[in-house]
Amino acid sequence: MSDRPLLLLDVDGPLNPFGARFVRHRGYVTHRMLPDCRSPLPHASRRRAAREARVRLHPGHGARLLALPYQLTWATAWCRQANELVAPAIGLPGDLPVVEWPSARCGRSADGVHWKTRTLLEWAAGRPFAWVDDELTGRDADHVATHHPGSALLLRIDPRKGLRDRDFGRLEHWARTLG
């Protein structure tokens, strides 16, 4: 086990700024990928299916993530396909740990906590972690603060912009403050 904090990384939003439908961010490359978690609806048109399969990734993000003082871990509905599809496109190794979800769920629980939150706390098992996701809210932060004994940074990423320089800076700074 590493003594470095975990970096729990989502794909859609942080790495794939899917919310920027008509904006092409500098440096991003468009790929056609359709992981199991994003399969188009059976009645979707060809045009919609093609749009669903469009993933924009920045090839430089892998090196920047590897340079951070974290143990990288996929925390995405892409599951193991993040290693197969996303990792090679951005220069990450294809054997990063993957959080296994108890079921393919989405949305929020009755108390407003994201469907990933409780599983990520189990996965972290008290270790310090930074969670990078586009769907984080104050409810998730409150839940983590109440139920996680270690340090945690929940970093909400705008899904129209993806990871930005300031986000990498914030991740670097937070990890360094852990000692």
Please state, in angstroms and rounded to a whole number, the distance separating the CA atoms of residues 148 and 154: 12
The pLDDT of residue 150 is 95
> Model confidence over 98-148: pLDDT tens digits?
999 987 566 667 678 999 999 999 999 999 999 999 999 999 999 999 999
The number of folded domains in the chain is 1
For residue 155, what is the enclosing H or E element?
A: strand 152-156
Whether residue 1 is contained in a domain is answered as no
State the CATH number of the domain containing residue 56.
3.40.50
Whether residue 46 is contained in a domain is answered as yes
Mean of the pLDDT values across residues 154-164? 97
Q: Which residue has the higher pLDDT, 172 or 36?
A: 172
Q: Residue 140 sits in which domain range?
A: 6-177
Whether residue 68 is contained in a domain is answered as yes
Weakest-pLDDT range from 22-36, 39-53, 79-93, 128-142: 39-53
The pLDDT of residue 92 is 98
> Model confidence over 45-73: pLDDT tens digits?
545 544 567 899 999 999 999 999 999 99
Whether residue 13 is contained in a domain is answered as yes
Structure tokens, 90:
């951005």
pTM over the 0.85 mark: yes
Residue 29: phi and psi, rounded to 5, are -120, 135
